[in-house]
Every structure is written in C-alpha cells, then in structure tokens.
Amino acid sequence: MPDEAKPGTPPPEAPREDPRLPLTGLRVVELGHYIAAPFATRLLADLGAEVIKVEPPGGDPHRDWGARVNGHAVWFSIHGRNKLSVTLDLRTAEGKEKLRALLARADALVENLRPGAIERMGLGPEALHAMNPRLVIARVSGYGQDGPYRDKPAFGAIGEAMGGLRHLTANPGQADLPPPRCGVSISDDLAGMYAAMALVSACWGRDRSPEGKGTVIDLDLVSSVFSLMEGMLPEYGLLGRVRQPMGAALPSAAPTNTYPCADGKWLAVAGNSDPIFRRLMTRIGREDLADDPRMAGNSGRCANAAELDEAIAAWTRTLPAKEAQDALEAVEVPCSRLFDMKDCVEDPHFQARDMLLPVEDPLIGATVPHPAAPFRFQGIAPRDMVRWPGPAVGAHNEHVFESLLKQEAKP
Amino acid sequence: MPDEAKPGTPPPEAPREDPRLPLTGLRVVELGHYIAAPFATRLLADLGAEVIKVEPPGGDPHRDWGARVNGHAVWFSIHGRNKLSVTLDLRTAEGKEKLRALLARADALVENLRPGAIERMGLGPEALHAMNPRLVIARVSGYGQDGPYRDKPAFGAIGEAMGGLRHLTANPGQADLPPPRCGVSISDDLAGMYAAMALVSACWGRDRSPEGKGTVIDLDLVSSVFSLMEGMLPEYGLLGRVRQPMGAALPSAAPTNTYPCADGKWLAVAGNSDPIFRRLMTRIGREDLADDPRMAGNSGRCANAAELDEAIAAWTRTLPAKEAQDALEAVEVPCSRLFDMKDCVEDPHFQARDMLLPVEDPLIGATVPHPAAPFRFQGIAPRDMVRWPGPAVGAHNEHVFESLLKQEAKP
C-alpha cells in the first residue's frame, strides 16, 4: 500500500477510526455469512464500530455472489465495507482459541450460524459469558433459537413467506403469475437491522449499569417480517378479517395507486387527501369527479376507487411517465415513476444528497459507486462514513492477531 | 383504574419501568404522526425507553386508521404501545413552552414533521441544543432535510418508488397489472428502524464521551429504501446493468421460486443447493433432472431455470399447498406456503415462540392480540416487553406535566 492512503483505501495494517462517528470504540466480532449478520455489522461499521469479520480461510461465500469485476463480487465492496477481515479455521483448536481471545476483548458478537452451532464449538453464550461477562451476543436465525422449526435451514424467501409479507405482495386475483418477491433479501435485511438496533441498545444499557453485564439477543427472520404486519393480527383476532393483497392500492385511502403510462413505465400517484384530490382531478380534466358528491371525503373515494383509478389511468396512458410526473408535480400532486437504478443515478436528488459515493476499491481495481449510509449525522459528510470498501479475505490478520490480541482482555 | 393493574393495563398515572429492559432510563420525546417516527419510538419503547408521545389535542390521525373496535383503531393498540401520551397545542405559546420544558429533560427527540416545521416553531436543533446540549434529535422525512425535493410532501409509496424497490417488485413483462406494493408501509418502517438504531447509537457515543453532546440525525424514506439495493448501484455504474424484476425467482440461484398448488395457494420453494436439488427432484419423481448433466451446479440450473420451474409446478399443481409443503419438508427441502394472518395464528411456531400476545386494552374493551417485539433478550419473556397497549389521547398529561416537569432539567 502507498504511504498516502487515498480515500477509500486505507492501509489494512492501520485501519482508520473516526472519533466523530457515534459507535467509535465499540468492538464487534462478526461470525456471519451471507446476508443477515453481515448486514447488521455493516450498519454498525458505518456507524463507526470496529467490526472484525471472522471468515473461514476460503472467505464468506457471499464474496462470490452476483456480478463480478476483476474476479470480485461488486456487492461485497459494499456489504463488507468499513470492516476488518480475519480468517480462522474454526475446525481447529488453534482457530477456536484465537476466536475466544478475540471475544475476550470484544463488546459484542453477531452470529448467524445454525442454532446450536456455536455451542457445538464450545463457544455458546454460557461459555462466552464465563470468559467475558460484558459480551453482548446477537444471534440471527431463520426461526429463532427455540421452537419447533429451530433446526430447519433458514432461507430469506421462507422468512418472507411465513412472516406474512409475500401473501400481501400481489395483485388481487393474480392467478397466473406468482406473487413476486420485493426484489431484495428483505427478511435478512430486516433481521439484520433489528440485530444492530438491539445490540446497540444492549450495549447502552450495559454500559450505564453498575454490573455491566452482557446479554443474549435472539433475532429471527420470521418475527422480523411479522413485526411489520401493522394491525393485521388484531384485525384477524378480533374481527376475523384476513388481510388480502391489494396490488398497488392502499386498503384505506383513495385514490392512491400505480398507473400505466404511454412508454410502458408506471407512475405511482398518492392523490388521497381532499385538496390533492381536487388538484389531481382538475389537472387530468375531470373536475366533474372533484365536484361529484359521491367522491366527497376519503370514505366516498374508497367506495368508488375503481372508477377513480380508471379515470387517472385514462390520462396517464396518454403520456410518457416522466411527462405525466412533471405535469402532476406542477400542481403539487405527490407522485413518482418506479425508479430503476439508472433513474436513481440520473436524478438530481441522489446527487444533491451525496447518496452515490465514489469509493476506490483495490480488489475491484476501479472506483466503485457505493450507496451512502442511510443515516446522516450533523457535521459528518456521507463520504466520511465509508472509510474503506470490503477488504480482501484475511486482510487484517496481522493487525488483529499480532497487535490487537496483545492487548489485555477487556473486562 | 383498579388498584391491581392487570397485565397490559397499568394505571396511566404510574407507568411501569422494567429495569431488565436495555433502554430503561432513556427518555425520548416523540413529535410524530402516522408511521415512521411513531414506529421508531414504538421499537424504542419495546426496548424499555420512556417514550412520551406529544399529540395535538385531537390525537395523532393514525388513531383513526384502519379497522376499529369500540371506536378505536386496533393498529394503534400496537403502534402506541408502551408509550406515554400527552397532548399539547403547539400553536400556542403555552404548548411550545411545555414542549421545551419536556425536551430540557429528555435524552432524545424523534420527529417526522415537514422539514423546517420545528424551526418555524422556534424549536429547531440550534435552539434545542442551546437549551439542552445532550439532546439527540432524529428527524425523519420523505427526502431528507436538504436537497431539491426537501419540501415535497412525503408519502410512503413515493419512498418505495424512488428508492428502487417498487420497480423490482414485479413479474417480468407484467404488462396489465401494476407492480404491487409489498402490502405494508415498508419505506416508513425502514426509516423508523434506522432512526431508532441511529438514535441509540448516538446516545451510546454521547454517554461515553467526556463532552456528552447530542447530535442531529437526518433520516429519509428514499435513502432507507435505497440502502437495500444490494449490489445494484455498482452493477449499473461499473457494468451498465440495470437490475430488472425477477418475479418470485432469484437472479443468481435456481431452482427457487413460488409455485401454484391445487387449492389456488402458492408454495415458495428454495431448492438451490446441490443436495437439496437432488432431494427435491427425487421427491417429485424427476430423478432424470437430478442426473441431467445440464443441471449440474448452480450455474447450470440457472441457465435452465424455466425448465426446472415447469417441472416443479407440474408437481405442485397436483396437491393442496399444505400437502405439498409437508411432502417436501419430509425430505428436507426448504419451502413455505405464503402465510396469511390465519395461517400465522394457527401455526405451532408462532405459539411456541410466544409471538401472539394477549394484551388487555381498555380502549378497545377487549383482549387484543399483539405481535411480540421482534427481538428477544435472555431472561425476559416476550409478554413482559408489552407493558401496556396504545393509551388514550393525553392519558399521561397529569403524570408528565404535574410530576415529571417538576424534576430538574437533565443537563
């Protein structure tokens, strides 16, 4: 590495800390693979935590996922960013001993191995707390650490299906095509987000209590999805109503839907408040509907939603999506085309908010555009929150094993 | 209220704290309405924080959303749980003064008014930090606190559309029906989750720094959705590829899809590993495909995914979804029907994991089933994390204004 580190390429032997980031000083060990646990730790790393990703000698298989450049998956440039990578063979006594030494010096562990796996290594919560009572242990699994399905393999699609989300992601009466995924690994993402949130909360509570004891947190994909089911559980329990998919419409507001445009693209329109409804109807030349007493108030419009949707679609079909959006925005009707990645990159908003960060990635051998962290903090530029891209497998073995492990254990 | 509070119905004048919960002792004021900010604070409240929800005298309009029992929306029983409700008319000097007094005694504020709204009240971050330098201020908005679209109204559907999710939530070539919503307010939920995570992180950093200064956090719906776009930004930036919707399939694994069953229901199947693929093909009587050299390895199967999907669907169409699931699970092929709420309630997993909690709700006048918090902590039963259901508007005015405000300000 050169002496002068360029942005995004710090020398692996001396990872940078930024004292302005909120979690600077929090040491988190990741025993994760694929998505959920590594996403949790990536968020923690963006927030400033010192995340040590423990990988088998061959690396997390996620490193091979999806499109590659220069032999490296571009997703991992993001998914592994701001982390230190060390390799350990946990089938050997030496590997387990090094992991134990690492955990003796850590604030927290995030793991998403199969339930029972760390216990079989002799590194279950009881053993870890005997060694380091401060350790916060966040465990992510498909179904949780107990219950009848505990030992079933966890797949993101199953979390979505069983948590109730996929049933809802459909057009009513959609008979020929399956309800689509929302296109990303949403159940892993949600579980990872909850793991990060619960872990930091446990650290906050620990560090203000006189005892300073760690805890064990049990996160699962199914509950993470199920937690978003709004009022549907009491609707069923008290009223016997089973929420059915509504396509792109909302169950209790109208008109709000997604409409076809002349260029084959779609426009989402939220016209469901009295003043917006009037402006929308006027713009599409349907003042008659704005004045129609049947359409007075949200409940009237909900009862006649199909008629309103047809009137709006009749207008959107005459224009390309961008023109239809411009026309409605000019009269302050909230709407948006369904952005693909090209739309995002070309939109002034993403540029102005510094959401697309150029990060030099020595593995990829190119400047890789990274999405900014989703949270921004006063006085910290989004680009300062990406300290380095996903590192090579074991890039920080020397730093961690030669220097960090020489430090005293934390407690 | 009776002297002996029943589970779920504490007397509003003496809200219970649970010292075992990680955020007990963290005081958070919510100036929120509808979904994003109130969801952030509900998660914080589940984690033990003392959340004071400030509402206009008429209450958060969310209290009127969706199905009602006894004149009260059942969703709010969940969305408002574990919170204190106070009412303030922020158009009056007295209302603003009381809010200021509250914020002088708080750790954090979560707000999702329009950008600029708290500044116009004289309660912008600068003014608040002059009074309480410790305050962590989390602001949630549609597009963020700056940028060209800052002043546009925020709607969840727009966050989904512009963040890139809705474009992906579709079947390829879906021409007649719009890409559906995933059925819940996902962009609000994600922004709320990030707000909670960033807020606790800021409190952790503040409380271990000698200065103990608060900060301002800017969260927006678009970035929250955009943060889940995996490797799609570098795929476009480096390779010019624009990710297109894949329906229920995965872009880089096969066979994994959702298949139609004899009873009109759907079964999601993840058959995409070498040993699982073989078991799946054997079970459906297609050993020929398991042995077919074209189907060797994931890349071979991806190249022939359509043929595999047709073979699996030909089998699932002959069975009701539950029977097909049982048959595949018997040979350890991960799969799940698309659960609706009735399926969730009837499944042994949800019962065994204590995910469906009976909570007495005096407003609803019934025992309301609540989903458990998505995270569980060692030694704390899920039911202990729901201390009380969403309270009546202003239920805690007396407790907060007569008792809490008599305490010294925190700093």
How sure is the predictor about B252, in pLDDT bands with cuts at 50, 70 and 90?
Answer: confident
Which 3 state secondary structure label does DSSP give B409?
A: coil
A279 and A131 co-located in one domain = no
Q: Are residues A321 and A359 in the same domain?
A: no
Task: Please report, for the domain that includes residue B278, its CATH number.
Answer: 3.30.1540.10
SS3 B335: strand
A205 and A77 share a domain? Answer: yes
**Can you give the CATH number for the domain in which A62 is found?**
3.40.50.10540
CB contact under 8 A, A178 and B247: yes
- Tell me: pLDDT of B30 over 70: yes
Across residues B226-241, what is the average pLDDT?
Answer: 98
Tokens read off for A381:
């530029």
Contact A220, A191 (CB under 8 A): yes
- Per the domain annotation, does B344 fall within a domain? no
Task: Examine residue B10 and state whether it is found in any structural domain, yes or no.
Answer: no
pLDDT band of A410, cuts 50, 70, 90: low
Please indicate whether residue A188 is annotated as part of the active site.
yes
- Lookup: tokens for B345: 């309630």
In this prediction, residues A310-327 reach a mean pLDDT of 97
Report the chain B residue with the minimal C-alpha distance to residue A151: B332
Among the listed residues B289, B257, B286, B276, the one whose alpha carbon sits nearest the alpha carbon of residue B328: B276
Mutate to test the interface with B, among A200, A224, A329, A356 (most CBs of B within 10 A): A200
Catalytic residue among B107, B188, B220, B361: B188
Instruction: Please report the DSSP string for B270-307 in residue order.
Output: E--SHHHHHHHHHHTT-HHHHH-GGG-HHHHHHHTHHH
- The reply to whether B51 falls in a domain is yes
Q: Does A378 lie in the same domain as A323?
A: no
pLDDT grade for A173, boundaries at 50, 70 and 90: confident
Residues A281-303, mean pLDDT to the nearest whole number: 96
Q: Please answer yes or no on whether B207 and A208 come within 8 Å at the CB atom.
A: yes
- Domain count within chain A: 2
Query: What 8-state DSSP symbol labels residue A183?
Result: S
Backbone angles phi, psi at B76, to 5 degrees: -65, -25
* % pLDDT > 90, chain A: 87
Same-domain status, A171 and A295: no
The identity of residue B406, as a single letter, is K
Query: What interface predicted TM-score (ipTM) does this complex get?
Result: 0.96
Q: Is residue B12 part of a domain?
A: no
Closest in B201, B233, B378 to A23, CB measured: B201
Catalytic residue among A46, A107, A188, A189: A188
User: Does B47 share its domain with B69?
Assistant: yes
Cα distance between the two ends of chain B: 35
Domain identity same for B154 and B218? yes
When mean pLDDT is compared across A61-65, A342-346, B278-282, the lowest value belongs to A61-65
Q: Same domain, yes or no, for A90 and A182?
A: yes
Are B59 and B136 in a shared domain?
Answer: yes
When mean pLDDT is compared over A10-24, A75-89, B12-26, B251-265, the highest value belongs to A75-89
Nearest CA-CA partner of A102 in A19, A31, A205: A31
| Percent of chain B's residues with pLDDT above 70 | 96
Report how far residue A100's alpha carbon sits from residue A355's, in angstroms, rounded to the nearest whole number.
38
Task: Verify whether the Cβ–Cβ distance A268 to B177 is below 8 Å.
Answer: no
Do both A162 and A100 map to the same domain?
yes
Structure tokens at B329: 């699970």
Measure the CA–CA gap between B8 and A41, rounded to whole angstroms: 34
Q: Please state, in angstroms and rounded to a whole number, the distance separating the CA atoms of residues B227 and A86.
A: 26
Q: Based on the fold, state whether residues A299 and A373 are members of the same structural domain.
A: no
Question: Binning pLDDT at 50, 70 and 90, where does residue A407 land?
Answer: confident
So what's the pLDDT on residue B9?
46
Greater confidence (A356 vs A14) lies with A356
The arithmetic mean of pLDDT across residues A156-162, rounded, is: 93
* pLDDT the model gives residue A3: 33
A310, A337, A364 — which closes off a domain?
A337
Question: Strand B256-260 vs strand B216-220: parallel, antiparallel, or unpaired?
Answer: unpaired
Angular region, B182: left φ>0, alpha ψ -120 to 50, beta rest? alpha
Distance CA A76, CA A33 (A): 11
**Where is the domain boundary, A312, A337, A362?**
A337
How distant is the Cα of B35 from the closest Cα of chain A, in angstroms? 10
Across the interface, which of A24, A65, A370 has its CB nearest the CB of B252? A65
Residue B267, min C-alpha distance to chain A (Å): 9
Residues pairing with B268 in the sheet: B258, B336
Instruction: State which residues form the domain around A274.
Output: 256-260+266-337
CB-CB under 8 Å, A164 with B247: no
B241 domain-assigned: no
- Token readout for A375 is 């949270």
- The one-character DSSP state at A399 is I
pLDDT at B410 over 70: no
What single-letter amino acid sits at A99? L
Please, what sign has the CA dihedral across residues B193, A388, A390, B249? positive
**φ and ψ at residue B125, rounded to 5 degrees:** -55, -40
B343 lies in some domain: no
Asked, for residue B242, whether it belongs to a domain, the answer is: no
- List of chain B residues whose C-beta atoms are within 8 Å of the C-beta of residue A178: 171, 247-248, 257-260, 266
From A337, A361, A388, give the residue that closes a domain: A337
Computed over its alpha carbons, how large is the radius of gyration of chain B? 25
Q: pLDDT by residue (tens digit) across B165-199? A: 999 999 998 778 899 999 999 999 999 999 999 99
Please give the residue of chain A at the shortest CA–CA distance from B194: A375
- Give yes or no: residues A182 and A281 share one domain: no
Kindly report, residue by residue over B283-328, the tens digit of the pLDDT.
999 999 999 999 999 889 999 999 999 999 999 999 999 999 999 9
Looking at the domain assignment, is residue A317 inside a domain?
yes
Handedness of CA A293, A297, A300, A304 (dihedral sign): positive
* Residue A355: closest C-alpha in chain B: B223
